[in-house]
Structures are given as C-alpha cells and as structure tokens.
Amino acid sequence: MSVQTLEQAKEFNFFESVENYFDKAASFTKFPKGLLEQIKTCNSVYKMNFPVKIGNDYRVVEAYRVQHSHHRVPTKGGIRYSHKVNQEEVMALASLMTFKCALVDVPFGGAKGGIKISTVGLSPMVLQKITRRYTAELIKKNFIGPGLDVPAPDYGTGEREMAWILDTYLSFHPSEVEGYACVTGKPVSQNGIRGRTAATGRGVVYALKEVCSYKDDMDKLGLATGLAGKTVIIQGLGNVGYHTGDVLKEFDAKVIGIAEREGGIYDENGLDVTKVFKHRKQSGSLLDYPGAKNMDNKLIMEMDCDILVPAALENQINSSNAHNIKAKIIAEGANGPVTPEAEAILLSKNVLIIPDIYCNAGGVTVSYFEWLKNLSHVRFGRMQKRFEEATQGNLLDMVEKMTGKTVSKRDREMVVHGADEIDIVNSGLEQTMVESYTQIREVWKKYKDVEDLRTAAFIVSINKVANAYLAMGVFP
C-alpha cells in the first residue's frame, strides 16, 4: 500500500493505518522490498470459536491470537476483551507490539489477543470460564508458553484475568519450572512484579518528561520546558489513563479534564485523579464530581490544554475532530488513537504527537522485567539490598568521622537505602524511556524530511527488526 497524502486521504481501518505508518517510515530505509514486506506481514493468525455455558444456555465466543513477528521469540502482547474485537484490530495491535518491543529493546516479537465480549454485565464466574477456555485453546495450538508467546493485560483485562491464565497454564504444565513466565501482568502474590500495574501510565509520564525536556522543541510549541504547571486532559480512566494522571502529580502537572464513556468533567483549577477515580467507583459515573463541570466526552478533548492523553481506544482522534483539537502535545497512551488522516491535520497545525509505539511502551518493558524475574526465580533487589545498605552505611560513617559532622536521620535513610524491587523496576523503566527517546529524536533531527516522531520511531524499529532478519541470514 502506498503512503497517502492529506489530499488523497480516506479513512483507513486500524490495520491499514499501521501499514500506512510502516510504509511511510520504510520509504526512508534502503532494505530490500521483500524483507520489508516480511516485516510488515502478520506471521500467524489464530481465530477460534468456542462454546461457553452461561446458565442453561450456550454461547459461541469468537476470539483471536495473532503473532505478528517471529524474528524474536517469545512473542508478546496483551489480551483485549471488548465487543468490538475483530481480526484486523488484533492484527494491528500485534504489529504495533513488534515495533514497540524493537524500539525499547525488549527482545520479543509482537503479538496480541482478543476476545469479542462485552465485559459489562458478565459475572466474574462467566469471565473466568471464558478466560480459562481461551487459555486452553491457546495451549492446544502451542500459542502460549514462556518461550513461545506470553500474553499480558490490555483493554478490559487486568491482573485477575492473568492469574486465571496462569493457573490454567500450570494445570496443563504442572512440572514446567519456568511456567510462571507464561503470562505477565500477574498479581504480585502470583509471581507478578511490583510496578507492573502502573507501568504503562508511568511510562507515558516518563515519555512526556523526556519530550518536554528539550528547549528547542518546546520553543517551537510555545511551551516552557518541564512538566510542572502543564495542563492535561485524559481520555479513559482505566489502567493507562488513571496511572498517567496519578503519576503526573509527582511532576506537578495539572489534569484539568477527564473523559469517560458516560461523559466528561472539567475543572480549570485541576482534578485529583485519585479522588475522581474513587468517585466514579462509588457513584458508577464520572459525572457530578464536586467542583467540576460536566461535559460531553467528545467535546472535552477539544478544550484548551497543553497535553492531551488519549488512553481509551483506537481511532478516537480522526478527520472529524482533529481540526478542533487545541492541545499542543498528544501523548498516545492508547494504541492507534490518532488516524493517519488526523495526524496529517494535526501536523499541519504544529501539534507534537508522541507515538503509541514509544509512549505506551512502559507496559511491555515492565512485563519483560517480570518475565526475567520469573525465569530467574528471584525477586529483584533480594540478593543485594542488605549488602548495599551496609556498604553505604559504612561509607557514611566514615564521612561523618572524617568531617566530624552528623547527617540527619532522614538524610541517612535516603543515602543508605538499598534498592527494592519497585526502585529497580521504576529506574529500569525510566532509563528505557530516556534511551529510546534519544534514538527517536536523533533520527527525527537527522532526516530533513522526517517531520514527525512516529515516522522517526518506526524508522528506528524497522532498522532493528530488519537487521535481526539479516543477521539470521534469511535474506542473504
């Protein structure tokens, strides 16, 4: 498929959008056409239909697992529960996973799963039945395993579903010593890792922090550097949206608007995301939050703000609303929230888009850490924490002795503290986001015709995947 200009643009479906972004970036590389075609193609698509007994009736459930690229194994990607799930959507999401993993140097191929169900109104018992049956279908076809394909949470799923997947997998593989690494995003009690639940949102904030640290780039947007004081609007108060808003507090950014399915709320003085989340949980709606104005959930995305974080679903910013978006930066918490048509409009308005394959890569990065933890059978920090604390304590004692001065109890605790699992996870995540942005920005600045961060990010990823194929000698 050729790259389309704004004038030629038609609305792409989600998979076509990803292909379009790929083609645009690939045109800046010199790899053979066949190799690029191989990189773009989904390697395996598994569609299944299975029965689930609900009450006295049976329901046929449609589900998918797509492994986009086997250039690295295992493949990796979340599982989505939504009544809108379809094959091209799962293929698009699986493709994005390949480029995301390559970009952040997570040594996996991309994959994604989807079950076409609406979770609203389904009891936990029925959801458990569906999840366990889906896992059994994956096991039958060798589509799950620590070295084969490792699922994780996505839209509509979380650590509860991952615990069901793990338990089903282990019942089929009771003696597999590495079995716990068959899925990530598990509860900590089930060998999950601290920091995974918040990782995608935290990664979005680290990405924003990095992007906003460059004066030249911020000057072009008419913004100051740093996150402090920046106004933010978030679409979707689920895993990604909530944690993005929550972590933004650490950097003094101000969330002024939130959109959910039932509507939006706006308060120019700032919203406390934790309190808003509790309000929604208790009342069943985001609306009528004390002190905030109720708004239409689409219109709220068009309000004045520095940063817009779409963190719900794909295609939310498209040719119908892109002209009205006033944000100067769009941070793609969701996968594929901006269509190519919308992107062309936004770029012409000088909006900086932080692309999904970079912006929301925190989730898969910490999933990788969880997988490593499961394979090594030891919690990060366990072996060295006490040793580090003793060494740092001795050093401080010596400094105090030599200077004759004593540091406060608080300062001593801070200096002596040995790294816990959460410290290691969050610092590994931040380092990954910083390093990856350095690579993207370098390409963005190097090629005169690369006008956007998405194309630059895809170029970085394509180079890495293509070089992996070339090293394997598949294309001598």
Which of helix, strand or coil describes residue 63?
Answer: strand
Taking CB under 6 A as the rule, which mask of x and - marks residues 263-302 in contact with ligand NAD? ----------------------------------x-----
DSSP state of 282: H
By CB under 6 A, name the one of 75, 235, 318, 436 that touches ligand NAD.
Answer: 235
**CA neighbours within 13 Å on the CB side: how many for 34?**
4
List Cβ neighbours of 357 (8 Å cut-off, separation of 6 or more): 96, 99, 100, 103, 454, 457, 458, 461
For residue 36, the number of C-alpha atoms closer than 13 Å in the C-beta half-sphere is 19
Gap between the Cα atoms of 201 and 207, Å rounded = 10
Q: Within 96-125, which residues bind ligand NAD (CB under 6 A)?
A: none
Residue nearest to ligand NAD (CB): 238
Which is nearer to ligand NAD, 151 or 156 (by Cβ)? 156
User: Residues 76, 112, 186, 385: which is the catalytic one?
Assistant: 112
CB of 346: closest distance to ligand NAD in angstroms?
A: 18
Residue 187 lies near ligand NAD (rule: CB under 6 A): no
Q: What are phi and psi of 77, to 5 degrees?
A: 170, 155
Residues 14/338/359/200 CA torsion (nearest 10 deg): -70
Cβ proximity to ligand NAD: between 311 and 352 the closer is 311
Using CB under 6 A as the binding rule, whether residue 153 contacts ligand NAD is answered as yes
Exposure letters 359-396 (e unless 16+ CB within 10 A, then b): bbbbbbbbbbbbbebbeeeebbbeeebeeebeeeeeeb
Among 77, 146, 151, 236, which residue interacts with ligand NAD (rule: CB under 6 A)? Answer: 236
For the CB of residue 243, give the shortest distance to ligand NAD in the complex, in Å. Answer: 8
Which residues 244-263 are close enough to bind ligand NAD by CB under 6 A? 259-261
Nearest-approach distance from CB 316 to ligand NAD, in angstroms: 6
40 is an active site residue: no
**407 is written with which tokens?**
């540091």
Residue number, 335 or 374, with CB nearest to ligand NAD: 335
36 versus 96: smaller Cβ distance to ligand NAD: 96
Beta carbon of residue 80, minimum distance to ligand NAD (angstroms, whole number):
7
**What pairs with residue 53 in β-bridges?**
58
**Exposure class string for 259-277: b at 16+ Cβ within 10 A, else e:** bbeebbbbbeeebebeebb
With CB under 6 A as the contact rule, the residue among 212, 311, 342, 425 that binds ligand NAD is 311
Helix (H, G, I), strand (E, B) or coil at 20: helix
| For residue 74, cis peptide bond before it (omega within 30 degrees of 0) | yes
Which region, judged by CB under 6 A, interacts with ligand NAD, from 135-143, 211-219, 231-239, 424-432? 231-239
Q: How far is the CB of 264 from ligand NAD (least distance, A)?
A: 8
Q: CB of residue 332 vs ligand NAD: minimum separation in angstroms?
A: 9
Q: How far is the CB of 456 from ligand NAD (least distance, A)?
A: 20
Q: Strand, helix or coil at 277?
A: helix
Q: Are 328 and 354 in contact (CB under 8 A)?
A: no
Q: Cα separation of 61 and 121, whole Å?
A: 16
For residue 363, CA distances in Å to 24, 38, 397 come to 26, 26, 40
Q: Is 192 in the site for ligand NAD (CB under 6 A)?
A: no
Contacts to ligand NAD from residues 402-461, by CB under 6 A:
none
- Span near ligand NAD by CB under 6 A; candidates 20-28, 154-162, 391-399, 429-437: 154-162
Q: Which of 239, 318, 339, 432 binds ligand NAD (CB under 6 A)?
A: 239
Instruction: Give the range of 44-52, 237-245, 319-327, 345-353 binding ligand NAD by CB under 6 A.
Output: 237-245
The least CB distance from residue 149 to ligand NAD, in Å, is 17
Please give the Cα distance from 228 to 252 (Å, whole number): 5
State yes or no: residue 151 binds ligand NAD (CB under 6 A): no
Question: What does the block give as tokens for 447?
Answer: 């090629």
Residue 237 is a binding residue for ligand NAD (CB under 6 A): yes
Q: With the C-alpha atoms ordered 467, 468, 469, 475, is the resulting torsion angle positive or negative?
A: positive
Name the site residues for ligand NAD (rule: CB under 6 A).
Answer: 78, 153-156, 200, 235-241, 259-261, 297, 311-313, 333-335, 360, 363
**Active-site residue numbers?**
112
